[in-house]
Amino acid sequence: MSEAGRQRVVITAVTPEIDGGRFPIRRVVGEAVVVEADAFADGRDAIACRLLVRPAHARAWSEAPMTAQPGDRWRASFTAGEVGRWQYTVTAWVDHFKTWRRDLRLRVDAGQDVTADLLRGAALVRDAARRADEEQKPGERKTEARILAALAADLETGADPAARLRLALDDELALLMDRHTDRRFATTYRELNVVVDRERARFCSWCETDRGEDAAMGFDVLAGAKPKPQIDSHIEPGVETAVTLDGPAGDFDGEDWRTAWKAQKGVVDRWIAQGVRIFTVEEPDAWPFAFWEWLIGAVKHEHPDVLFLAVASARPKVMDRLARLGFTWIRRELREASPVEPDATRDLWRSLLWVSPGGADFHQRLVLAATQAASYGVSAGELPDGVRDLITRLNAIRRENPAFQSDRGLRFHPTDNDRILCFSRVDAKAANALLVAVNLDPVQAQSGWLELPGDDLGLPRDQPYPVHDLLSGARYLWHGTRSFVQLDPQPIPALVFRVRGRRGNDRR
C-alpha cells in the first residue's frame, strides 16, 4: 500500500479559489485573505488543520492554525505584506494526541479509571520527544526534546495520580505537542495563488485627458487617448500617467506570433523604463487571450507594481476571462443614473466605473460613479467650470473618507420617492460612515423621506446627532432614523453626509 493510502483526511471546497487554482485571486497590500476549507477524516479521530502561506519566491511556508467551524468547516486568514505573487494552501492530519486528550476529559468527567489512558498518553509524548530531537538542527540545544521526554516519564511513572492528570490536561503540554505533532500522513491541498497589487489598484480616480493640468481636479491617474512621447514633467507628485497600448502589431496568431508577442512586450518594457506603471488597453478582446496571460504574467513577474486596465466590450464572459488573465481593472461605462450593484467579484477583478460627458443626467452619473465605486474615471474633454468644481470636491471627499476607498460597505436604503436614491458607505475600522442621497431626475427637484439604518450608521436612539453635507458644507441636526431631504438636479444633485452618530467618527 502506498503512503497516500494512510492519508485519512479529506480536504475539499477550499475558498477562495478560481477555476480549481488555474488562476490567482486578487488582493491589495494590507487586505486580508480569509481562507476556508472542508476538512474531515473517517472515524471519530480529531484532526489538526493549518493554513500555509509564503511569497512565491520563498521556499519555506509560514503557517497559522485554522479554527473549526460548524459542519467540518475550517477557517483562517492572512494578510500579504508586500506586492507580488503569494501562494497559500491547506494541510490537515489526524492528531492522535488531540484525540487522546479529548477522550481523556470525557472519561474523567464520567468518573472512569484513566490509568491506562495516561500510559497511552505517555507513549504519544515520548514519540513527540523523538521527533523534536530529530527536527533540531546540528548545534542547536535540544531543550524541547528533553522537556517532552521528562514529561513522558512523569505521565508514565509519576507517584501522584492527580498530578499526572493535571499534567495530561496542561495547556503548555498541548502547545509542545502541537509544535511536534506527527505529520507523516498529512493531506495537503494544491497550491493556490494570490496576486497582491499596490494600493492604487484598490482606490483611484482617473481622468481621460491630454492636458496635465487636469490633475488639479484631484485625479490620481491621467490617461491620454494616445501614448505621449514622454511623461509630463509638470504633473503633480503622486499623479500617474497611464499609457494606452496600440492595437496588435504583426500577426499575433500566425506563423510568426512569437516575434509579434516579444515585440509588444518590448514596447511595454520601454515605457516601464521611463517610469510608467499603468497601461490601458482598448478592445483587448481583439488580441489573443493567450497573449494577455503571457504578457501580463511576464511583466508582473519583473515589475509586480505594474497595473493594467481593460477597456473591454460589454460581453460579461469576455470581461470575466480578461480578468482571469491578469487585468487589474475592467472598465464599466455608467450610461444611466441608476444603482450600481456591489461588486461581488473581489477575488477576481475590480470594476473601474467610467463616466463620459453628455446627456442631461451627466451630473447624476458623475456623483454615482464617484461615491459608489472605489475606482472611477471621467472622460474630461471641455468640462464646464461648474462640473470641474464638482469633480474637484468629489475627489477631495473620496481622499478624506476611508469609506469611499473600498468597494466594501455599500448598502442601499429605502425612500418614499423612487427618484431619490439613498445608500450608505461604512468603514467600521476607521469609524467612518457616509450617507448619500442622489436626485436621479435631471430636470425636476425631488424631495422625500429617507429610512436610515440606525445600527449600521451608529445613530443614537434617544438624542439628536449632527450631520455634515460634504458637498455644500451645510450642517444639520437630525433625530431618529427618518429624515427629510430636498434635492435640485443642478448643479449639485446630491447630498453626501458624514454622519457623526458613530462613536469615534471623524469630528471635523
Interatomic CA distance for residues 454 and 446, integer angstroms = 24
Cβ atoms of residues 142 and 134 within 8 Å: no
Residue recorded with cell 446627532: 465
Cα-Cα-Cα-Cα dihedral sign, residues 209, 212, 215, 220: positive
Residue 419 makes CB contacts below 8 A (sequence gap 6+) with 439, 440, 441, 446, 448
Cell numbers given for 232: 509630463
Q: Are 39 and 72 in contact (CB under 8 A)?
A: yes
Determine the number of helices (DSSP H) and then strands (DSSP E) in the chain.
11, 26
**How many Cα atoms occupy the beta-carbon half-sphere of 124 within 13 Å?**
21
Q: Report the C-alpha gap between 40 and 10 in whole angstroms.
A: 5
CA separation, residue 36 to residues 13, 72, 73, 186, 190 (Å) = 8, 10, 7, 18, 14
Can you list the residues of the chain whose pLDDT is less than 50? 1, 225, 227, 229, 231, 233-234, 502-508
| Cα–Cα nearest to 309, from 297, 301, 319 | 319
CA end-to-end span of the chain: 70
Report d(CA 157, CA 142) in Å as an integer: 23
Q: Are 47 and 85 in contact (CB under 8 A)?
A: no
Paired with 18 in beta bridges are 23
d(C-alpha 190, C-alpha 88), whole Å: 9
User: What is the pLDDT, as a whole number, of residue 508?
Assistant: 41
Instruction: Specify the pLDDT at position 490.
Output: 83
Decide if 276 contacts 231 (C-beta within 8 A): yes
By residue count, the chain amounts to 508
Q: Is the dihedral of CA 216, 220, 223, 229 positive or negative?
A: positive
Question: Could you tell me the strand order of the sheet in which 67-69 lies?
Answer: 9-15, 32-41, 73-79, 67-69
Pick from 310, 391, 320, 323: nearest CA to 355: 391
Alpha-carbon gap, residue 223 to 124, rounded angstroms: 65
pTM for this prediction:
0.88
pLDDT of amino acid 231: 47
Nearest residue to 26 (alpha-carbon basis) of 345, 429, 440: 345
Measured distance CA(245)–CA(241) in Å, rounded? 13
**C-alpha–C-alpha distance, residues 254 and 293, integer Å:** 18
| Cβ atoms 49, 16 nearer than 8 A | no
Identify the H or E element spanning 359.
none
Output the pLDDT for position 228: 53
Q: Which residues pair with 47 in a beta bridge?
A: 94
Q: What pLDDT is recorded for position 291? A: 94
CA distance 439 to 418: 9
What does DSSP say about strands 84-94 and 73-79: parallel, antiparallel, or unpaired?
Answer: unpaired
- CA-closest candidate to residue 477, choices 114, 469, 300, 177: 469
Q: What is the pLDDT of residue 4?
A: 64
- For residue 283, give the nearest of 243, 252, 248 by alpha carbon: 248
DSSP 413-442: E-BS-TTEEEEEEEETTTTEEEEEEEE--S
> Residue 93's beta-bridge partner residues?
48
Give the HSE-up count for residue 128: Cα atoms under 13 Å, Cβ half-sphere: 28
pLDDT value for 342: 59
Angle between helices 143-157 and 115-135 (to 10 degrees): 170
How far is it, in rounded angstroms, from Cα 259 to Cα 265? 10
> Exposed/middle/buried for 55, CB within 10 Å: 0-12, 13-18, 19+?
middle
Q: How far apart are CA 223 and CA 482, in angstroms?
A: 42
DSSP 124: H
pLDDT at 6: 81
Dihedral sign, Cα of residue 356, residue 362, residue 365, residue 370: positive
